[in-house]
Every structure is written in C-alpha cells, then in structure tokens.
Amino acid sequence: MKRKEFKVEEEGIRIDIYLHKKLESELSRKKIQNMIKEGKILVNRSSVKCHYKIKRGDDIYIEFPETREPDIEPQEIPLDIVFEDDHLLVVNKPPGMLVHPAGGIYSGTLVNALLYYSRSLSTLGGKFKPGIVHRLDKDTSGLIVVAKSDPVHLALARQFREHQIYRRYIAIVKGIVELDEGEIDVPIGRDPHDREHMTVNFTQGREAKTFYRVLRRYESYTLLEVYPQTGRTHQIRVHLRYLGYPVLGDPVYGKKDKLIDRQALHAQELGFRHPLTEENLRFSSTLPPDMQKLVPDYGRKNGKNIFR
C-alpha cells in the first residue's frame, strides 16, 4: 500500500483543493473527496470533512488506493498509414481516438492498434506508450510519427526537442481574425486553478511560439494555417484562445458548437529528417469530412483537394 505523509506549510485552503494542487493532479479532486470520506486521508491522525481548511503545521496522512496497471491488449483497429519502412510509421489519426491509454481508458487507442499491427515498436515510452514519440489530443486529427526502435525514437525525440520538426495545422476558429498573419509568443503553463488544463502563464510558464496565417474568412469563423514553433501541451488551442479566437468546437478552451462536435483542428503536414537515411521527408493528409464541410468552397480547387 502506497502511503504519503507531510506537514502543511500553507493555511486557509480547503483540504480537497489543497491536495489536488499539491499532488499535481495525481488524483482527481473527486477521488480526493471520496478518500477523505472513506478515512483514507487524515489530518493530525483524525478524519476531517472535505471543507476542512488546512492550518500551517497540520500533518496530513494519505493512504493511496492499490492500483494494478492492466496489460495493454492489441486490437484490430484500422490504421490510415501514410508511410512505413523498417524504422518508422507515419499514421493519419482520426478524431476521437486517444494516442495512448490514459484516464482509465485502456482500449480503442492508437497504441492498441499499433500493438496489433506491428511487433516492432520502441520501448522508451513504457508499456502505455510503445512507439509514441509525440502526441495529438484525442479530438485533434492528423499526422503522427511512430518509432519502431529505441534509437529511432531517440533521434526523432531530439528533432522535436531542437524544434527541427515541420508541422502545419489547419484550424477553424470562432470569430473573424483581423490580421492576415501573426505570431503568438507568450509562455504556457499549468492552470493554477485546474491542473488538468493549460493557460498563458507569465510567471511560471514555459516559452511557447505559434505562427498563424489566415486562409479565408467566413461569416462567423476563420480558416487558419498554424505553425507551432514549440511543442507545449495544448499549445495551439491555448494560444488561439489567448488571441481571442478559440478553436471552433473546443469544449475546454472555447465552447461546444453546433457546427462541429469536436475542436476543428487537424495536423495536416509533418516533416522531419529520417534518422537512418537522413532524407528530408514531408507528409500530408486530407482534411477530415467534418472540417471539410465547413470550408467546401476553399477546400477544393479545380476538382482537386488542396488540403493534401
């Protein structure tokens, strides 16, 4: 049984809020509240209520529930493979699919599909992330590269870390973007009020840069191409909200929209240097139908899909 005990250095904060922040979302606030009610969390060796306000010098004792990580099973899920050789894969991920198991979901992910498709995947990400060098949000569609070996994984990760990866996204944002192009250069960090979300944070955030260009303006939304220069969590979504134009349909950094049932964001192009051949590769994917229907007049030209 995992246990943790520590002395409080703050005061006047509800214990459930304090612990959610202290544990950096290791446990959800709801789970913390349930543990308090079950006597798994004690203050000065006594049970308390969820609304108890901590005092400086309090001793908090936590008895974590036993957890057993399940095995990740291969699943026969169709993959849209854009490129493959003996060293890596480039996959076009559909919206609605998690890249890897998380949040209690252990099936239906890209990793489940990859485990069924290939016996050769890098191991550096652990059993939950075999082959996974980078990720896309569940409801963001588009291209992702997968490593088949640890040396290839390390080489690709280095390119991401050194900002040598070419990434072009297509986004549909709420509102009419005024400038034809621009750069958003503000730091991003955890939201101090909700550790599961990100926000612009000038005191504790990390450097983040995003370039955007308007492709077309519509009556109530704007079509953009977006180039993230860094790779912070939720970077494009957070930056576009900061700009005043949240991604259409984004329930976290904007709001749901009847026009589309997910955030209208697609990782359309991906480019990198092949770790073994050193060839410069660039791949593209077609805009998904749910986004294409919002920009049909722009998305096609002379009968050809220009979003390839």
- Clarify whether 137 is annotated catalytic: yes
Whole-number Å distance between alpha carbons of 171 and 175: 12
Whole-number Å distance between alpha carbons of 254 and 262: 11
As to burial, measured by CB atoms within 10 angstroms (0-12 exposed, 13-18 middle, 19+ buried), residue 36 is: buried
Distance of CA 165 to the CA centre of its chain: 17
User: pTM of this prediction?
Assistant: 0.78
Per 3-state DSSP, what percentage of the chain is helix, strand, and coil (rounded to 5)? 20, 30, 50
Token output for 39: 């006597």
Whole-number Å distance between alpha carbons of 24 and 18: 10
Whole-number Å distance between alpha carbons of 288 and 266: 8
Please list the alpha-helical segments (H only) found in 118-183: 150-161
**Dihedral sign for Cα atoms in the order 198, 200, 205, 208:** positive
Residues of the chain with CATH 3.10.290.10: 3-63
pLDDT at residue number 196: 80
Other C-beta atoms lying within 10 Å of the C-beta of residue 10: 12
Closest listed residue to residue 142, CA positions, set 94, 105, 99: 94
Give buried/exposed letters for 117-136 (b at 16+ CB in 10 A, else e).
bbeebbebbeeebbbbbbbb
Whole-number Å distance between alpha carbons of 246 and 101: 27
pLDDT at residue number 261: 96
166 forms beta bridges with: 271
70-162 CATH pick, 3.30.2350.10, 3.10.20.600, 3.40.250.10, 3.40.50.300: 3.30.2350.10
Q: Which residues contact 121 (CB under 8 A, 6 or more apart)?
A: 114, 115, 130, 131, 146, 147, 148
Q: Which residues contact 155 (CB under 8 A, 6 or more apart)?
A: 275
Residues of the chain with CATH 3.30.2350.10: 70-162, 163-308
The SS3 call for residue 22 is helix
Catalytic residue among 16, 137, 139, 257: 137
pLDDT at residue number 193: 79
Instruction: Convert the pLDDT of each residue in 189-205 to its tens digit.
Output: 988 878 789 999 999 89
Token output for 302: 């002379």
Name residues of the chain where pLDDT drops below 70. Answer: 1, 24-26, 67, 299-308
The SS3 call for residue 37 is helix
Looking at domain 3-63, its CATH class is alpha beta
163-308 CATH pick, 1.10.760.10, 3.40.630.10, 3.30.2350.10, 3.90.180.10: 3.30.2350.10
